[in-house]
Amino acid sequence: MDAISQGIRAALQGLLVNAFLTGVKLVAGIVGNSYALIADAVESGLDIFSSLIVWRGLRVTARPADQTHPYGYGKAEALSAAIVSLMLLGAAIGIAIAAVQEIVTPHHAPAPFTLAVLLGVVIVKEVLFRRVFSVGTNTGSRVVQADAWHHRSDAITSAAAFTGITVALWGGPGWEPADDWAALVAAAIIAFNGSRLLRPAVSELMDKMPDQAVVDRIATAARSVSGVMAIEKLRVRTFGTGYFVDVHVQADPQMPLREAHILSGRVKSSIREAVPAVFDTSIHMEPFESGSRCAEIVR
Same structural domain, 124 and 217: no
- One domain, residues 150 and 171: yes
Domain total in the chain: 2
Same domain flag for 29 and 136 = yes
Q: Provide the mean pLDDT of the chain.
A: 81
Overall average pLDDT of the 29-46 stretch: 74
Domain-ending residue, one of 149, 177, 205 = 205
Residues, the chain, total? Answer: 299
Residues 150 and 289 occupy one common structural domain: no
Say if residue 294 is exposed, middle or buried (CB neighbours under 10 Å; 0-12, 13-18, 19+). Answer: middle
Is residue 198 within 8 Å of residue 85, measured between CB atoms?
A: yes
| Cα distance between residue 127 and residue 131, in whole Å | 6
> How far is the CA of 272 from the CAs of 112, 190, 269, 280, in angstroms?
58, 38, 5, 8
pLDDT digits (tens, 9 = 90+) for 43-95: 677 777 777 777 777 778 778 778 888 877 878 878 887 888 888 788 788 87
86 and 152 share one domain:
yes
Identify which of 254, 252, 249, 292 has the alpha carbon closest to the alpha carbon of residue 267: 249
Indicate the residue among 181, 205, 229 that finishes a domain: 205
Q: Which domain holds residue 31?
A: 2-205
pTM over 0.95: no
The residue out of 205, 234, 252 marking a domain boundary is: 205
Same structural domain for residues 285 and 178?
Answer: no
Cα distance from N-terminal residue to C-terminal residue, the chain = 29
